[in-house]
Amino acid sequence: MLTRALLCAAFALTAMPAVAVDATVSAAQVTRFKGVELDQQVDRMIFRGGLTLQSPDDTFGGLSSVTQTGIDQRIAFVTDRGNFVSGQLAYDQDDRLFGFIGVTIEPMRNSSGAVLPRQYARDAEGMDTVWREGAPAAVRVSFENLTRVADFAIAEGRPGGAAREVNIPQWLTDLRTNESLESVCIAPEASPIAGSTLLLTEEALDESGNHRGELLGVNDRGPVSYQNSPIVNPTDCKFLPNGDLLVLERGVSLFAFVMNLRRVPAAEVRPGNLMIGELLLSAQGGEIDNMESLLVHTTPGGETRVLIGSDDNFNDWQRTLLLEFALVD
């Protein structure tokens, strides 16, 4: 009879393919959110619909962060089991999201090109795209537990290959929990800190009780903090094209998931500052799940959209949920 530890190890191995595999993912559309129909305003956003995703492949799940990896709506997720899940968002003639297609699942690798050896090293939580000359060149990934940041090259819209370690401050390296480095996002050209990488922690708090962060840049480098809120913690971030920062917050209250989306003005994202976000969207309970991933992208119809996704933690009682919104202004 397997012990509990051996069962956990066996499960981790089943969720870690040795090579890239194709996965069939089915999608059911979500057409109501917090009592509103499609294209109606909810809080300070406009609801554009969503999907619940399912797959018979037991390596599909645990989607922790998402980023754009190519043209034609190519995206990739990272998972907390150390996989890249790549595919394409599919839209109909009404610019409505209806599927996630062409999905492949590929194990993440270390700097030697070997599959990450153990779960302690695989807990990927944040990801954003490194752009060069207007094209996606690599993804930058943050990890918890064995806390670090690494870049992975993008080829044909799919990230992979050997990791290239990114230097981070020692205080981040010293964190060794699953509540450490949760979010990574890279400032766009319109931002006052263009090209800088923002790192945000989940539970590493400063002397004032706010979330510690760090800016990695040539001219914009140093500590930064993000205002702590009751119940929720930051779980992902992405910049809007104008340089404003979106932060997704997630928590649990009375056994139900809670989600907030906040917007920080571009001028407030700078070294030494306490970033305070304006609330754009809030939800809890059955409307959502464990919302962990955030994407800002342009649809085929040309609209800037915010995609928010959930991490089902490979649990049968949770959902892989994608919800899409447009900004009111």
Strand (E) or helix (H) holding 68: strand 63-70
What is the per-residue pLDDT across 291-310, written as a single tens digit (0 to 9) for each?
A: 999 999 999 999 999 999 99
Burial class of residue 212, CB neighbours in 10 A (0-12, 13-18, 19+):
buried
Q: Rounded mean pLDDT of 209-231? A: 95
Residue 184 lies in a domain: yes
Residue 7 lies in a domain: no
What percent of the chain has pLDDT above 90? 88
∠ CA 256-261-266, rounded to 5°: 160
Residue 197 lies in a domain: yes
Residue 70 lies in a domain: yes
Residue 3 has pLDDT above 70, yes or no: no
pLDDT classification of 4: cutoffs 50, 70, 90: very low
Question: Looking at residue 256, which CATH number applies to its domain?
Answer: 2.120.10
Residue 248 lies in a domain: yes
The count of structural domains within the chain is: 1
Residue 9 lies in a domain: no
Residue 1 has pLDDT above 50, yes or no: no
The secondary structure of residue 268, as a DSSP letter, is G
pLDDT classification of 218: cutoffs 50, 70, 90: confident
Backbone angles phi, psi at 286, to 5 degrees: -70, -10
pTM of the model: 0.93
Residue 17 lies in a domain: no
Helix (H, G, I), strand (E, B) or coil at 44: coil
The answer to whether the CB of 59 falls within 8 A of the CB of 16 is yes
Residue 125 lies in a domain: yes
Residue 112 has pLDDT above 60, yes or no: yes
pLDDT classification of 16: cutoffs 50, 70, 90: low
Query: Which carries the bigger pLDDT value, residue 17 or residue 248?
Result: 248
Characterize the bridge pairing of strands 274-275 and 222-226.
Answer: parallel
- The whole domain housing 119 covers 23-327
